[in-house]
Amino acid sequence: MNPLLQPFDTAPFSKIKNAHFKPAFLKAIEKTRSEIDTIVDNPEPPTFENTIEALDYSGYQLDRVSSVFFNLNSAETNDEIQKIAQEVSPLLSEFSNDITLNEGLFQRVKSVFGERENLKLDKEQRTLLEKRYKSFSRNGANLPPEKKTRLREIDAELAKLKLKFGENVLAETNAYELHLTKETDVQGLPESAKEAASQLAKSKKKDGWIITLQYPSYIPFMKYAKNRELRKKLSLAFGSKGFHGDELDNQENVLKITNLRHERANLLGYKTHAHYVLEERMANSPKRVMDFLTELLEKARPAAQKEFQKLRAFAKEMDGIEDIQKWDGAYYSEKLKQKLFNLDDERLKPYFKLENVINGVFKVAEKLFGLTFKEVSHIDTYHEEVKTFEVYDADQNFVSLFYADFHPRPGKRGGAWMTSFKSQFRKNGKNVRPHVSNVCNFTPSTESKPSLLTFSEVTTLFHEFGHALHGMLANTTYPSLSGTSVYWDFVELPSQVMENWCYEKEALELFAHHYETGGSIPMELVQKIKESATFQEGMQTLRQLSFGLLDMAWHSQDPSDIKNVKEFESKAFEGTQLYPDTPETCMSTAFSHIFQGGYSSGYYSYKWAEVLDADAFAYFKEHGIFNPEIAKKFKDHVLSKGGTENPMALYKRFRGQEPQLEALLERAGLLKAD
């Protein structure tokens, strides 16, 4: 019996075997196809209810199977799962095309869309109708047959290429080890980082220490290791993932993906992939994105250049370094930060025990939105490290199930993300509540210490939890408009705004307690955290802008003449470059956000959403960071509304005005740079 084909509420992980996945996909596709046929063959005239609504509620079983499988492929994968992913992804792409290119279905949707002015639809229904019609027209429903066939071929190929890209990056990350045996090799590393590296070496039956490309291992080494040659070695390994000219090389995949995306956009009548994508974003056009990035670049570049000169001078004064390189950046930045603020992660980490930070983010959510979190042990999980929580509102109504998975493993891709195992929606009078998950790669515990987070990891936890709140507090009728199903440049608002609480005394007092003594974080440290918040903000902004500009370079022009990935990338980076280029490295070949994830032509959205978040938090600060009225407005107009309306309309309803760029520039300390 296949557990994925039985009715289930929480995912039945312990019962699922890899062999269950492909049959479950095939069966669920067949079931969804039958649901679509029922809509198409309905003898009644098309209505909003029997066509648009019916279509949105179709495919429930397929969505559940997909969410379980693809979440596992990100958080707990293996060769077998990756092989299944390569087999089922083209099937899903083909089936998605079967729906959007179904002439009978499109005619029914088109008929309802044509009548929209005469239908008494509320805002959410109107949004759903427009979104559904566009999903057909933007995906080839109006194309002639031969172009529809080509579109199917492109989509199937892209599905495989994106998976292959991600598999290569993961394989490169897992394959690399820097094995060190001399005490001098790990000089400068904090005890916690040394202990973790020693523990890893022991687990592999080796002496000494092992450093990997996983963030909790890589970042402390780059920040603290005194040995410059070893920093260089590790930096080049990290920066050259997918760029070795071997079977894991991603250069060809990058070129194929960008060319296919461009061809696809042209087929659908758009000038470039960016024009296609941005039509459905707040930014709306490549020109507006480029204007936005350029304006920020003009504000940030002078500050970044001043900060870089200070860093160069400091490295020269400290160690006689004449030619500061990428592998020196984190090391000397950390030393300069310590000198200026007498603040480093090792001083802060004892106050950020993982469990305390989790409780802290829960308390912040309770004070803002009246939520309580109850850890439970009866929920089935895919790994023993995954924690599960039931979430309730102030009236003790069940709100959501929350999964939390915080440490790196060989089967888990790098980075941090929010995902869901079940969406929220309302049907037949029942409000179906969501199952939401945060997956991260934080510093694990060692034999002598619990998991103690760096401040950067604390802000990452709050960031991902902001996404989780967007999913948990969803309160919409239709699944495709629920939770984080919003414009891509709006989705980062809830996550980025949550990071602000990490810098506030009132919030830190709730959870920043020393893991051994229980003492609260000293206020002088809180003050230093706030003062250091804008340290090298110009350089950080330039770095983010460089990624956004690289993304736009790949996707806002015809890529068919690009032959050399590295050369193209170097040209895109020209206006944002501070450090000398390293010919051995290439960002594009491991830029998973845009070549595997959904951020193509969308990386700018991190900065776009920062404008929203700075403006939104300024509103909180004005009235108190735990002000119940402001929190309720944010919950009612942003977190619970999903994609039911245009995001600017939702934002203005919360804030009373459009977001102001000045709020971001002021917070980042960039107004002074002029």
Cα–Cα–Cα angle for 328, 334, 338, rounded to 5 degrees: 145
* CB distance 556 to 286 below 8 Å: yes
* Two structure tokens written together for 138: 């933007």
**What is the spatial distance between Cα 464 and Cα 499, in angstroms, rounded to a whole number?**
9
The yes-or-no answer on residue 94 being catalytic is no
Cα–Cα–Cα angle for 211, 214, 220, rounded to 5 degrees: 60
Cα–Cα–Cα angle for 239, 242, 246, rounded to 5 degrees: 130
Give one DSSP letter per residue of 286-302, joined into a string: HHHHHHHHHHHHHHHHH
* CB distance 75 to 132 below 8 Å: no
CA–CA distances in Å: residue 421 to residues 69, 100, 195, 385, 437: 10, 24, 35, 17, 7
At residue 598, the 3 state secondary structure works out as: coil
**What is the spatial distance between Cα 583 and Cα 326, in angstroms, rounded to a whole number?**
12
Residues 6+ apart with CB under 8 A from 484: 418, 420, 467, 470, 471, 491, 642
**What is the spatial distance between Cα 404 and Cα 467, in angstroms, rounded to a whole number?**
13
* CB distance 590 to 250 below 8 Å: yes
Residues 6+ apart with CB under 8 A from 317: none
CB crowding 315-353: b at 16 or more within 10 Å, else e = beeeeebeebebbbbbbbbbbbbeeeeebbbbebbbbbb
State the amino acid at position 391 in one-letter form. Answer: V
Residues 6+ apart with CB under 8 A from 129: 48, 52, 112, 113, 116, 121
* CB distance 508 to 632 below 8 Å: no
Q: Helix count (H) and strand count (E) of the chain?
A: 27, 9
State the amino acid at position 425 in one-letter form. Answer: F
**What is the spatial distance between Cα 670 and Cα 1, in angstroms, rounded to a whole number?**
61
At residue 625, the 3 state secondary structure works out as: coil
Let me know if 572 is exposed, middle or buried by CB neighbors in 10 A (0-12, 13-18, 19+).
buried
The single residue of 263, 464, 504, 610 carrying the catalytic annotation is: 464
Which one, of 412, 354, 405, 77, lies nearest residue 212 by Cα? 412
Cα–Cα–Cα angle for 248, 250, 253, rounded to 5 degrees: 125
**What is the spatial distance between Cα 330 and Cα 535, in angstroms, rounded to a whole number?**
13
| Kind of pairing between the strands at 425-427 and 417-422 | unpaired
**What is the spatial distance between Cα 439 and Cα 109, in angstroms, rounded to a whole number?**
37
Long-range contacts of 341-346 (CB under 8 A, 24+ apart): 341/528, 341/531, 341/532, 341/535, 342/528, 343/525, 343/528, 343/529, 343/532, 345/190, 345/220, 345/223, 345/454, 345/455, 345/456, 346/190, 346/192
Positions annotated as catalytic residues are 464
